[in-house]
């Protein structure tokens, strides 16, 4: 049984005849100790999916799902008070902008201790000791004095480490990292990724990495989910995905990695933007931007179809040469 | 911190100077003079008038009078009342506790109700509760104090007979002034019922005086709270699995309070201005009523001294707010 199992997750915003569908019919699962990468450009619904899973979508957002189970517990029918015992303890999340994700009015120690107080029986001096231990675990130098530091006294990388310390405080079974390195310098990015992977191994956590940067997940994720306009367009093992992308969107994403077009004068890009509420195509959501779109693609919406261990939402999946297969 | 306080005080000096000049100019611009008002115009002996004017130094050119006033001020002398011959300072100190008591009660009402209303409106944003609370706040803000005071007296004192109409305490009590604060003095006196009487006398004026600051605080709290609730760290707090009340009170309110504290500080000025009207309506023997009476008597030293003391108070409170700011907001504390 998988640790997290999501079936037919829908997240919509707004009422009336034309609500905005941020996520539609999303299936996703992850096993204990696994690393899953969710990729897609901005606006593809990656973060919303995870926020919805954690119950952090507010009205007017509406979240529905056939299944939303974590470690055998049904998250969707659960009372908020009960859910709060899981959130922050068994499922933890870190965010893109660590500096603004920490409360400026409290010290690092206060914020760490708050999580511990909420979910563990530790009290008094033990709390402080554990907080210190956590800061050392995320390799913060001079951890003792950092306990009394305020977020504005920390660098971006340092605050992301604090966020990570807070997230792993209760040894979660699942850690969600939402673009954890996007706001950081390249050198710091590598350090943070290394730290995340180490912690994942040490604590045997499942890790979901949300990113728009394929290079970040390429080396560490076992499975990949590619999202586009609120839908999964391809799921696959990471190696397979990089070797033979089946969906034209995945192919486009891969070819826009700078390393993949060495020597070229211009970087490959996919023209256009993710469709919004009012320009949502009737057929395949990628059809206006897809190089291979046919009349069929424009009129019909493709289902997610399994091909050789992967799933692809395309009528004409690409073959191993990167050319659309025609029936 | 210390150098910051020194800096702020030195910045206040030109403000003081401006206030003295303004107060001096304004009171001398009003037609009539104290001697005329004291003896009346009817059987005015020109010789006596001239002598009185000379004795008070009012026959001098204005700039000489102003210069004399400033010189006295630098020696810490605010002068004495033309009418009562009491030093301005001692009159002020005698009446000041009554105003402080009223203002503090009003502020307490304003802060407690304003914060609660603002938080309620923010957390119930867009609902009937939000619109009702904010509508009430706007109404309160637009209410002229003198009218609002009279309406409350009519309803609660005259029709319902719940509270007394005016004064600080019922006439049957003779409370020795120890601290000048009626609530404390009545407790010290040990007279049965005196404390209750003092409280009852305080309620209406405090509500009248506190209404505008309450409305301002409620609106500020709401908007500041709404802004803070959108912050990333609120999302983090929710992702920690904290309860909604803890998120709002611990994580949101502390940050939302930063602009609210400034507003509360600024309201002290509004409060003292409002005290002038409120004290007049409720015959509250404080500095507001004292100033109004002195203006109508053209008691120059009292008006000038009173305004200067009130200005000092406001500057002092603003300094206090700045210091308090640093306590709430660590980013400011450390940048100094």
- End-to-end Cα spacing for chain B: 7
Chain A contact for B130 (CB, 8 A cutoff): no
How many angstroms away from the CA of A210 is the closest CA of chain B?
16
Structure tokens at A134: 């956590």
The dihedral region occupied by A312, where left means phi > 0, alpha psi between -120 and 50, and beta the remainder, is: beta
The answer to whether B240 contacts A152, with C-beta atoms less than 8 Å apart, is: no
- Cβ contacts (< 8 Å) between B236 and chain A: which residues? 95, 101-103, 163, 166
Do residues A183 and A192 make contact, with C-beta atoms less than 8 angstroms apart?
no
Give B44-67 pLDDT, tens digit per residue. Answer: 777 877 887 787 777 788 888 888
Instruction: Provide the sign of the torsion angle of the four alpha carbons A40, A41, A47, A48, taken in this order.
Output: negative
- Cβ contacts (< 8 Å) between B238 and chain A: which residues? 56, 87
What pLDDT was estimated at residue B110?
Answer: 92
> Distances in Å between the alpha carbon of B83 and those of A15, B78, B89?
73, 15, 14
Confidence of residue A262 (pLDDT cuts 50, 70, 90): low
Q: What is the mean pLDDT of residues A81-100?
A: 88
- Cβ contacts (< 8 Å) between B231 and chain A: which residues? 100
The answer to whether A152 contacts B255, with C-beta atoms less than 8 Å apart, is: no
Nearest to B235 among A95, A115, A119 (CB): A95
Q: Which of A103, A145, A178, A210 to mutate to test the interface with B (most CBs of B within 10 A)?
A: A103
**pTM metric for this prediction:** 0.77
Confidence of residue B172 (pLDDT cuts 50, 70, 90): confident
Give B174-221 pLDDT, tens digit per residue. Answer: 777 777 787 787 777 777 778 888 888 888 899 999 999 999 999 999
How many angstroms away from the CA of B139 is the closest CA of chain A?
30
Q: Which residue in chain B has the smallest CA separation from A54?
A: B239
Enumerate the β-bridge partners of residue A39.
A211, A226
* Alpha helices for B124-253 (secondary structure H): 128-142, 145-152, 182-189, 194-229, 232-239, 244-246
Instruction: Provide the sign of the torsion angle of the four alpha carbons A146, A151, A154, A155, taken in this order.
Output: positive
Nearest to A105 among B236, B243, B330 (CB): B330
- Cβ contacts (< 8 Å) between A153 and chain B: which residues? 334
Closest Cα partner for A80 from A93, A95, A63, A96?
Answer: A63
The dihedral region occupied by A223, where left means phi > 0, alpha psi between -120 and 50, and beta the remainder, is: beta
Q: Which percentage of chain A shows pLDDT scores above 70?
A: 97
How many angstroms away from the CA of B250 is the closest CA of chain A?
10
- Cβ-in-10-Å burial (0-12, 13-18, 19+) of B208 comes to buried
Nearest to A114 among B240, B328, B329 (CB): B240
- Cβ contacts (< 8 Å) between A100 and chain B: which residues? 231-233
Confidence of residue A97 (pLDDT cuts 50, 70, 90): confident
Structure tokens at B22: 């303004």
Give A133-147 pLDDT, tens digit per residue. Answer: 888 888 888 888 888
- Cβ contacts (< 8 Å) between B232 and chain A: which residues? 95, 97, 100-101
The interface predicted TM-score (ipTM) is 0.86
Q: Is the pLDDT of residue B112 over 90?
A: yes
Coil, helix or strand for B137? helix
Chain A contact for B255 (CB, 8 A cutoff): yes
Give A242-254 pLDDT, tens digit per residue. Answer: 888 888 888 888 8
Q: How far apart are CA B81 and CA B88, in angstroms?
A: 6
The dihedral region occupied by A139, where left means phi > 0, alpha psi between -120 and 50, and beta the remainder, is: left
Nearest to B239 among A56, A102, A104 (CB): A56
Cis peptide bond prior to B38, omega within 30° of 0: no
Q: How far apart are CA B25 and CA B29, in angstroms?
A: 6
Q: What is the mean pLDDT of residues B15-42?
A: 79
Confidence of residue B3 (pLDDT cuts 50, 70, 90): confident
Closest Cα partner for B208 from B154, B262, B127?
Answer: B154
Nearest to A101 among B236, B250, B254 (CB): B236
The answer to whether B238 contacts A56, with C-beta atoms less than 8 Å apart, is: yes
**Average pLDDT over chain B, rounded to whole?**
83
Instruction: Provide the sign of the torsion angle of the four alpha carbons A37, A43, A47, A48, taken in this order.
Output: negative
Chain A contact for B126 (CB, 8 A cutoff): no
Q: What is the mean pLDDT of residues A37-55?
A: 87
Closest Cα partner for A238 from A252, A226, A222?
Answer: A222
Instruction: Provide the sign of the torsion angle of the four alpha carbons A122, A126, A132, A138, taken in this order.
Output: negative
Q: Which percentage of chain B shows pLDDT scores above 90?
A: 13
Q: How far apart are CA B109 and CA B213, in angstroms?
A: 9
Give A164-209 pLDDT, tens digit per residue. Answer: 999 888 888 999 998 888 878 888 888 888 888 888 988 889 999 9
């Amino acid at each position: 049984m998988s640790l997290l199992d999501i079936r037919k997750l829908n997240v919509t915003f707004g009422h009336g005849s034309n609500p905005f569908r941020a996520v539609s019919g999303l299936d996703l699962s992850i096993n204990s100790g696994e690393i899953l990468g969710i990729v897609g450009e901005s606006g593809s619904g990656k973060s919303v999916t995870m926020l919805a899973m954690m119950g952090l979508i507010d009205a007017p957002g509406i979240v529905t799902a056939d299944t939303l189970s974590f470690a055998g517990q049904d998250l969707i029918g659960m009372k908020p008070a009960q859910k709060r015992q899981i959130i922050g303890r068994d499922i933890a999340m870190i965010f893109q902008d660590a500096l603004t994700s920490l409360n400026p009015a409290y010290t690092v120690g206060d914020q760490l201790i708050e999580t511990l107080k909420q979910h563990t029986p530790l009290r008094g001096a033990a709390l402080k000791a554990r907080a210190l231990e956590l800061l050392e675990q995320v390799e913060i130098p001079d951890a003792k004095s950092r306990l009394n530091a305020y977020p504005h006294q920390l660098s971006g990388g340092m605050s992301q480490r604090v966020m990570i310390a807070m997230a792993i405080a209760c040894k979660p079974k699942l850690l969600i990292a939402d673009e954890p390195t996007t706001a950081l310098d390249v050198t710091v990015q590598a350090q943070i990724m290394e730290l995340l992977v180490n912690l994942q191994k040490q604590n045997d956590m499942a890790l979901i990495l949300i990113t728009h940067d394929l290079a970040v997940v390429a080396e560490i994720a076992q499975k990949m989910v590619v999202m586009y306009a609120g839908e999964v367009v391809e799921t696959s093992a990471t190696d397979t995905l990089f070797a033979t992308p089946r969906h034209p969107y995945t192919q486009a994403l891969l070819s826009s990695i700078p390393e993949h077009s060495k020597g070229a004068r211009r970087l490959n890009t996919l023209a256009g933007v993710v469709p919004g509420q009012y320009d949502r195509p009737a057929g395949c959501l990628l059809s206006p931007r897809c190089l291979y779109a046919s009349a069929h693609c424009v009129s019909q919406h493709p289902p997610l179809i399994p091909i050789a261990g992967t799933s692809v939402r395309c009528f004409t999946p690409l073959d191993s040469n990167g050319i659309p297969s025609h029936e | 911190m210390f150098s910051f306080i020194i800096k702020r005080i030195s910045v206040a000096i030109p403000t003081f100077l401006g206030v003295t000049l303004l107060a001096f100019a304004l009171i001398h611009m009003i037609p009539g003079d104290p001697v005329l008002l004291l003896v009346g115009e009817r059987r005015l002996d020109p010789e006596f008038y001239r002598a009185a004017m000379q004795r008070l130094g009012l026959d001098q050119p204005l700039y000489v009078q102003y210069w004399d006033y400033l010189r006295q001020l630098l020696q810490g002398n605010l002068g004495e009342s033309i009418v009562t011959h009491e030093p301005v300072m001692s009159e002020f100190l005698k009446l000041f506790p009554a105003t402080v008591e009223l203002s503090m009660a009003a502020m307490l009402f304003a802060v407690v109700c304003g914060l609660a209303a603002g938080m309620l409106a923010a957390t119930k944003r867009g609902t009937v509760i939000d619109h009702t609370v904010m509508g009430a706040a706007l109404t309160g803000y637009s209410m002229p104090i003198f009218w609002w005071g009279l309406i409350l007296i009519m309803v609660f004192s005259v029709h319902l007979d719940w509270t007394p109409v005016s004064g600080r305490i019922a006439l049957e009590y003779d409370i020795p002034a120890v601290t000048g604060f009626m609530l404390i003095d009545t407790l010290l006196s040990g007279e049965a019922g005196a404390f209750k009487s003092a409280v009852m006398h305080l309620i209406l004026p405090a509500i009248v005086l506190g209404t505008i600051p309450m409305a301002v605080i409620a609106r500020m709290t709401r908007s500041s709270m709404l802004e803070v609730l959108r912050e990333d760290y609120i999302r983090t707090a929710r992702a920690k699995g904290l309860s909604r009340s803890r998120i709002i009170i611990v994580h949101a309110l502390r940050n939302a309070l930063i602009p609210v504290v400034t507003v509360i500080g600024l309201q002290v000025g509004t409060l003292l201005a409002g005290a002038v009207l409120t004290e007049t309506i409720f015959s509250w023997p404080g500095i507001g009523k004292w100033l109004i009476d002195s203006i109508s008597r053209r008691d120059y030293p009292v008006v000038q001294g009173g305004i200067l003391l009130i200005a000092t108070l406001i500057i002092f409170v603003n300094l206090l707010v700045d210091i308090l700011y640093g306590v709430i907001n660590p980013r400011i504390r450390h940048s100094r």
